[in-house]
A = this chain, B = another copy of it.
Amino acid sequence: MRLLKVDSISEARKKLLDAASAKVLKTEKVHFAKAMGRILAEDIESEENIPGFRRSTVDGYAVRAADTGGVTESIPVFLDIIEAVEMGKAPTKEVGPGQATYVPTGGMVPEGADAMVMVEYCEAFDETSIAVYEPVSPGRNVVSIGEDIPEGRTFLCKGQYIRPQEAGVLSSAGVFEPSVYAPWKVTIISTGDELIGADEIPAEGQIRDINTYSLSAAAAKMGFEVIDTKVLRDNEALIEEAVKNAMEVSDLVVVSGGSSKGEKDHTAAVMDRLGEPGVFTHGIALKPGKPTILGYDKVSETIMIGLPGHPAAALMVFELMIGWLYRTLTGQKEPIAVAAEITENIAAAGGRATCQLVELIEDETCIGGYKAVPVFGKSGMMTTLTRADGYVMIDTNAEGLKEGGRVKVVLF
């Protein structure tokens, strides 16, 4: 039995980031309408002022604010209507003292005018004039040129995850093809003599493979492209051939199973042999997830990770290590977590951090509050995974969690 010197999560992350920082992150230009879920690889500057003209935020009359000084509900000012601006068209007349132009919401405010009075505060006096019953200050109800985004201003930063709203803003600024990170190409290999394909009938002692599917789905969620998956016997030559082939075409090679001390442990040997410098982390002080292998090959720029065979542990470690790494390399924000009250005492695992699955139940007694109910189950049970909404990390040196204590739940 080989003794593993395990790393803490932060040691393992530091080594992983150090190694992977040598990797070139490829970028590509993508039309903004197809860019949702992608990560910006450049700061986006506006090449024009937005809006490019003074826009009204209300339906009303463009006026000179000075003309409305001192008006009240009982003492209005009377202004001559000189024009009605149409949407999408420029006004033709400048607003002079004592004059007003009708402008709909989003319409262009004419020269001369410096504020908009809402129709609600105006009354038609006759065909060509209105009474204004409320004073406005200069700039009121008007978005000035460049007030939303001035020309030359960076309005979206490198590392921004593109949501529907960012797609909209890119379109509005006329940025057709922002540069985004090219998805990492990923190969996922699940190893184990007990594994059969999902479409086979298990004989005694056999189970259907889960990890190629759940890890593929997790990789897709991180924005990666899964180019190949394989279910292999726990045979060193088979694994070596598969990893070697994968390294030629993948940014990331994931091998699950076979890295626990009781199993044949080919993954670490293969990754160490094929990579330069090879494996730098032989185990992480994390429950579950101890038998995690991290490595790198600088020739092919391939990141290598050996995950536990246990599906829940494999998914969690994949997120904790690879999800974190990719967000860090691309400058993304960490996802927003949810504060909750834990409903049971959870003992800490001496010398190891613990990743505890929890289910979130709305706490009606408290605005936006949740209770975090620990999800327990014997190692390897799948239903623990589907019952959980997220997980809580308990630090290596923490004393565990006390019932009723506040915890931070990372959604899963």
Contact = CB atoms under 8 A, between A and B. Distances in A.
A253 interface: no
A263 to B, nearest CB: 6
A199 B338 CA distance: 40
Nearest to A263: B104
A325 interface: no
Interface string A208-226: 1111111111101100000
A202 interface: yes
A193 B87 CA distance: 5
A52 B369 CA distance: 40
State the oligomeric state as a number of copies.
2
A300 interface: no
Given A57-B379, A383-B148, A386-B166, A205 B311 contact: no
A169 B210 CA distance: 7
A186 B182 CA distance: 29
A293 to B, nearest CB: 16
Contacts of A208: 171-174
A25 interface: no
Contacts of A89: 193, 205
Interface in A75-116: 85-90, 104-108
A114 to B, nearest CB: 15
Contact-residue bracket for chain A = 35 or more
B315 A164 contact: yes
A203 B52 CA distance: 9
A147 B85 CA distance: 73
A206 B88 contact: yes
A208 B106 CA distance: 12
A270 interface: no
Given A87-B205, A368-B407, A164 B380 contact: no
Contact of A88 (B147, B192, B211): B192
Nearest to A409: B368
B32 A386 contact: no
A66 interface: no
A33 interface: yes
B169 A204 contact: no
Contacts of A173: 208
Name which of A367, A377, A409 has the most chain B CB atoms within 10 A of its CB. Answer: A367
Given A52-B202, A171-B209, A218 B164 contact: yes
Interface in A159-187: 160, 163-174, 176
A36 B208 CA distance: 19
A378 interface: yes
A209 B210 CA distance: 44
10 contacts: A88-B192, A105-B380, A149-B383, A164-B213, A164-B214, A165-B214, A165-B315, A174-B199, A338-B338, A338-B368
